[in-house]
Amino acid sequence: MDLQSDNKAAALHVISSLRAAGHTAYFAGGCVRDFLLGRAPKDYDVATAARPEQVRALFERTEAVGAAFGVVLVLEQGQAVEVATFRDDGAYSDGRRPDEVRYTTPERDAQRRDFTVNGMFQDPESGQVLDFVGGSADLDARLLRAIGEPERRFQEDRLRVLRAVRFAAELGFELEPRTAAAMKAYAPQLQGLAWERVSAELSRLLLCPGRAGGMSLLMELGLAQALLPELLPLVGCAQPPQFHPEGDVWAHTLLALGALVDPSPALAWATLLHDIGKPACFSHEPGDRIRFNRHEAVGAVMAEALCRRLRLGQELSGGICTLVRDHLLVGHADRLRESKLKRLLRRPDLSELLELHRVDCTASHGDLSMQGFCKAKLAEFEAQGREASLLPKPLLTGHDLIGMGLKPGPKFGEILEGLEDEQLEGRIQDRETALAWAERAMEGTEKPSPNG
């Protein structure tokens, strides 16, 4: 069994147990939507008439993840199944959670959900779909529509504005006009959202195949202005047509995003941000083409500030900023010295760098020869033995340099890195030659006094 079928089996067992105890229970939300679309649901949620305390009493292992709002996590058959009691929400004074909930019927529960396509229930035994909000018709029309008054849905939870963009991108749906208008009107209020919630939703958007369309919606509806203002200058920022026939930097960015295939979070974010420094580095002197000198370095600094604001975490932020900073390296690979080329080809993020280069080129001039060059060189070096050609064993250590009289300090790293360069270039292959090279490199450097 795969994880999806395991989760379904666990959810079916939960529903069966609830029904055996006399409680109404159905599949609910996204899994019903995906079933009707012929898609494999990622997980299966359950809605029931049972109160949270009744759910917890019925199953041996549960977690009260949102018992105050009628939600209990049931741990069954090695799976976590979210079980929500049919409820009607009161006011949302914090723009995220209801101040109070009232347990109610499936019909009333459907009315408080976010979008029509997510507001349906299904009886797993008969297959009957309970649709009180017109979700089936909107699925047929490929429309994403807020349930009831869009303004109220977004007032209840402002994150629903971003979720609407993601659902539209994931499903390839159009936004229903009133829903889109309410999202645009609500855009300025998104700045009050917790950045962790925003970044999680944006990451999910960037990882779905419809990411380019989703980012285009963010810009069109004014959501980028509220959440990612660094992207605004990309619109209308001209590029040299001989290298970028696609148009401005924003058009290029969207094309690059669309060319990604199953990216990691770091690669997806880096693709969005790889040219973020171009507007600040724009120059167009008379008689010269448009240039963006050092835009990769400027972009890395801008990306770091953005990642910090979005609280993306140190590891992810580091990966994003490194890819932004180095995204031009592959394009210059045939001009690198042997040592620098080998350092590039042994990087742990090489596959991501190559993929970022591919989508960057695909979205512009289309020349992928440098990607082919790198792959051929990598195969050549690995055929010679990866350890010997790309990761040679150090011939000297810091202890050796101390023994030669070098005072500890920054010069240590410079000499050891230079020595490794000589090894990678094939000019030094034994310890005796390495010692002689290091002695020459140490000339003129400060050494410890005889008395320490």
pLDDT tens per residue across span 344-364: 999 999 999 999 999 999 999
Angle between helices 249-259 and 350-362 (to 10 degrees): 120
Q: Whole-model pTM? A: 0.89
Average pLDDT, the chain: 92
**Res 253 pLDDT > 60:** yes
Tens-place pLDDT, residues 369-408:
999 999 999 999 999 888 788 999 999 988 998 999 888 8
pLDDT of residue 245: 94
Determine the average pLDDT of the residues in 321-332.
97
| DSSP for residue 115 | B
In the predicted model, is pLDDT for residue 448 greater than 80? Answer: no
pLDDT score for 445: 63
In this structure, the dihedral spanned by the alpha carbons of residues 185, 187, 191 and 193, taken in order and rounded to 10 degrees, is 100
Average pLDDT over residues 271-299: 95
Residue 436 in this model has a pLDDT that exceeds 60: yes
Per-position DSSP letters for 116-149, written without gaps between them:
GGGS-EE-TTT--EE-SSSHHHHHHHTEE-BSS-
Amino acid identity of 58? L
Confidence at residue 66, expressed as pLDDT on a 0 to 100 scale = 72
- Average pLDDT of span 48-73: 89
- Is beta strand 174-175 parallel, antiparallel or unpaired with respect to 45-48? unpaired
pLDDT (tens digit per residue) in 127-180: 999 999 999 999 999 999 999 999 999 998 999 999 999 999 999 999 999 999
Contact status, residue 278 vs residue 234, Cβ threshold 8 Å: yes
Q: Please tell me the distance from the alpha carbon of residue 20 to that of residue 350, in angstroms, as a whole number.
A: 55
- Residue range(s) in the chain whose domain bears CATH number 3.30.460.10: 1-137
What average pLDDT does the segment 2-27 reach? Answer: 90
Q: Give the pairing of strands 45-48 and 79-85.
A: parallel
CA distance 215 to 218: 5
Where does the pLDDT of residue 451 fall: very low under 50, low under 70, confident under 90, or very high at 90 and above?
very low
pLDDT at 443: 82
Sign of CA dihedral 205, 65, 101, 96: negative
CATH architecture of the region 1-137: 2-Layer Sandwich (3.30)
CATH 1.10.110.30 intervals, the chain: 142-227
The residue written with tokens 């109160």 in the block is 51
Q: Kindly list the distances between the CA atom of residue 99 and the CA atoms of 47, 69, 156, 208, 216, in Å, as whole numbers in the listed order.
A: 20, 9, 10, 33, 35
Q: Of 122, 129, 44, which is closest to residue 82 (Cα–Cα)?
A: 44
Nearest alpha carbon to residue 347 among 314, 373, 386: 386
Q: How far apart are CA 308 and CA 344, in angstroms?
A: 27
Phi, psi angle pair for 387, to nearest 5°: -65, -45
β-partners of residue 343 are none
| Whole-Å CA distances, 50 to 37, 43, 81, 411 | 29, 21, 15, 70
Whether residue 1 is predicted with pLDDT greater than 70 in this model: the reply is no
Q: Rounded to an integer, what distance in angstroms lies between the CA atom of residue 416 and that of residue 37? A: 59
Q: Give mean pLDDT, residues 300-317.
A: 97
Which amino acid belongs to residue 139? L
Residue 452 pLDDT > 50? no
Residue 90 predicted with pLDDT over 60 = no
Report residue 449's pLDDT band, with 50, 70 and 90 as the boundaries: very low
Q: Which of 225-234, 267-276, 388-397 has the lowest mean pLDDT?
A: 388-397
CA atoms of 404 and 408, how far apart (whole Å): 11
CATH architecture of 142-227: Orthogonal Bundle (1.10)
